[in-house]
Amino acid sequence: MKYAKIRTHTDNRSLNSGSKHGGNIYRLAEELGMHEEKMLDFSASINPLGVPESVQLEIQRNMKYLYNYPDPDAMALRQHLSAYHDIDAESIICGNGSTELIYLVARVLHPMKILIPAPTFSEYERACRTESYRLQVASFQLQEENEFEINPDEFIKSMKRCDAAFLCNPNNPTGRLIKKNAVLRIADAAKKLKCFLVIDEAFMDFRPEDSVINEVKNNPYLIVLRSMTKFYALSGLRIGYGVFPQHLIKALNEHKEPWTVNMLAQKAGLAALKDRTYRDKTFRLMNREKRFLENGFKKIGVTFYHSDANFYLLKINDAEGLCRGLRKKGILVRDCSNFRGLDSRYIRIAVKAHEENTMLLKELAETAQK
């Protein structure tokens, strides 16, 4: 078994495009002269059930109150999150998606050396670079031979002399989950090393039993971020939250811009958390469609990696040509060539509804036969 390699760099240019993400249906629609609604977007990993009906009704009920400023403290949402997760409401800060909170953490911690897996979400490094041009980044290189699995012991060794470490769990774009016990071992080591450990649980709603959100109160160096845009399909509203050690709360609030979570987003978050029917329906759909996709990948000979989230990392020899061909048909997939540790052979695709998944497998099969 090969373990991860550590590479340290300070050059800003070593971070690839950074701002390139999935979900830009608007540019493709303009290129093709098509309406956005006709785009088939596999590049953004959003729940194919769409916005919960309960959320839609709550938004409609509150449209008439848009003349009011939103609650800057998102108190009602925080109190519900407190009960939902059994955590202290005072430890919760809500944000304009979890991405806002990534930048807020970087602003407050101002780390000089950070540890980040590769590949992973690019905004961790990008956020920290906005605070320090001389930032040192230690890249924890994940190995394809190990299916991009993170070895906890090796990661712990690499945290030495780092100010902060970031983990996306399940990881984006690989979909690999670090089990709760392993994360707690890493968090305990971070506490001893006095290295802040930021766990981005943006996709953890798909594996809630492995969350460490309840452990923040026991560790002054543990931060957990959550997103509601993936599981509840609220990307357009932007809603996320973080759970922080008490000693950081004052500084975080002092550095946070006011009113970043609008009133409709706060109401939507509350309604979504109460919707157990939607959650149950999501788990059933994901189990069914992930089996369907995996069987399809095997039949057409496409390399895929185990995923604990609602997306898959695929390896295709002519991925670049595939992306171009799909774009011409109004189908977006996530080109992963700008993730450090990957190249132009990799793409990420979201798990969508059955009809759309069938269509994608058909396109992949045609490509594989060429």
Is residue 23 within 8 Å of 348, Cβ to Cβ? no
CATH (one of 3.30.365.10, 3.40.640.10, 3.40.50.1470, 3.40.50.1240) for 53-275? 3.40.640.10
Higher pLDDT, 366 or 304: 304
What pLDDT shows up at residue 23? 52
Spatial separation of the C-alpha atoms in residues 288 and 282, rounded to whole Å: 10
In the chain, CATH 3.90.1150.10 sits at 9-50+277-369
What pLDDT shows up at residue 328? 82
What pLDDT shows up at residue 20? 62
Is residue 204 within 8 Å of 307, Cβ to Cβ? no
Task: Give the model confidence (pLDDT) of 349-359 as tens digits.
Answer: 999 999 999 99
* Lowest mean pLDDT across 36-40, 64-68, 104-108: 36-40
Confidence of residue 14 (pLDDT cuts 50, 70, 90): very low
Nearest to 167 by CA among 180, 154, 178: 178
Task: Give the model confidence (pLDDT) of 70-112 as tens digits.
Answer: 999 999 999 999 999 999 999 999 999 999 999 999 999 999 9
Task: Give the model confidence (pLDDT) of 278-334 as tens digits.
Answer: 999 999 999 999 999 999 999 999 999 999 999 999 999 888 888 888 888 888 999
Confidence of residue 258 (pLDDT cuts 50, 70, 90): very high
Give the strand pairing for 240-243 and 92-95: antiparallel
Task: Give the model confidence (pLDDT) of 197-227 as tens digits.
Answer: 999 999 999 999 999 999 999 999 999 999 9
Q: 347: which strand partners?
A: 314, 335
CA 233 to chain centre: 13
Q: Residues of the chain with pLDDT > 70: what percent?
A: 89
Which residues make Cβ contacts (< 8 Å) with residue 105, sequence separation at least 6?
127, 198, 223, 225, 242, 252
What pLDDT shows up at residue 50? 96
Nearest to 92 by CA among 108, 76, 111: 76
Nearest to 319 by CA among 368, 357, 356: 368
| pLDDT > 70? residue 251 | yes
| pLDDT > 50? residue 1 | no
What pLDDT shows up at residue 18? 42
Q: 93: which strand partners?
A: 242
What pLDDT shows up at residue 369? 63
Higher pLDDT, 29 or 346: 346
- Residue 148 backbone class (left: φ over 0; alpha: ψ -120 to 50; beta: rest): left
Task: Give the model confidence (pLDDT) of 188-200 as tens digits.
Answer: 999 999 999 999 9
Confidence of residue 19 (pLDDT cuts 50, 70, 90): very low
Is residue 258 within 8 Å of 72, Cβ to Cβ? yes
Which residues make Cβ contacts (< 8 Å) with residue 343, sequence separation at least 6?
337
Q: 95: which strand partners?
A: 240
Amino acid at 136: Q
In the chain, CATH 3.40.640.10 sits at 53-275
**CATH-assigned architecture of domain 9-50+277-369:** Alpha-Beta Complex (3.90)
